[in-house]
Amino acid sequence: MTRKKEKRKKGQPISLSFFCFLFLAFCLLSSISISAKEVTKAQRDEVGKELACLCDTCPRRPLDECTCGYAQKQQARIDALLAQGNTKQQVIDAFIADYGKRVLSKPPAEGFNLLAWLMPPMVLIFGFFIVRSVLRTWSHAKPAPVAATAQPTQETDPYLDRLEQELRERES
């Protein structure tokens, strides 16, 4: 009861088992490509703008803007974490776990860091009121009184007397 394998000759139909094999292979390959999540640049940049570059050459620029070697390594790490199916917050939390809160490009608005968010508007408001009060003082200031000049009298002004005398001499 052994079956001999026969070679398929031209014109013979392909067996049903071969079609089933092709169908299963196609299904497996398509499911693999669907499960391997592709990370777009927009997704990486969305996470990268929340994280700062910690190299010594960049002035703490966000990772999505920085082009140094350190930033490229960290962007590759973001890509890998997103490809594993992690959310944006999970990726950020992973970076915070490794580097601490200094990796954030913006300080969280809590505790002492709240001053970093509140001080700039408070300084602007305070400066506005100072400028306003100075301008008000300047606009309402009364002009300084001008010192009255004493009108010289003929008795006190010898030059005027001399002038009048010379004019009389000329006329005569």
DSSP string, 39-74: PPHHHHHHHHTTBB--SSSSSS-BTTT--SHHHHHH
CA angle 19, 24, 28 (to 5 degrees): 150
Does pLDDT of 7 surpass 80? no
pLDDT at 35: 45
Q: What is the pLDDT of residue 17?
A: 74
Give the pLDDT score at 26.
72
Comparing CA positions, the residue from 113, 107, 105, 109 lying closest to residue 49 is 105
Q: For residue 102, what pLDDT is reported?
A: 84
Dmax (CA) for the chain in angstroms is 170
> Which pLDDT belongs to residue 66?
84
Whole-angstrom distance, CA of residue 43 vs CA of residue 39: 6
Of 28-37, 55-64, 152-161, 163-172, where does the model show the most confidence?
A: 163-172
Mean pLDDT throughout 19-27?
Answer: 72
Give which of 112, 114, 96, 82 is closest to 50, Cα–Cα.
96
With pLDDT > 90 as the criterion, what percentage of the chain qualifies?
16
Which DSSP symbol is given to 111? G
Residue 130 is predicted with a pLDDT of 95
pLDDT for 33: 45
- Which of 118 and 109 is assigned the larger pLDDT? 118
Per residue in 128-157, pLDDT tens?
999 999 999 888 877 777 776 666 554 667
pLDDT at 19 over 50: yes
Q: Is the pTM of this model over 0.85?
A: no
Q: Each residue of 116-134: pLDDT tens digit?
A: 778 889 999 999 999 999 9
User: In the predicted model, is pLDDT for residue 42 greater than 90?
Assistant: no
Q: Is the per-residue pLDDT at 2 higher than 60? A: no
DSSP state of 102: G
Q: Pull the structure tokens for residue 43.
A: 């997704």
**Exposed/middle/buried for residue 28 (C-beta within 10 Å: 0-12, 13-18, 19+):** exposed
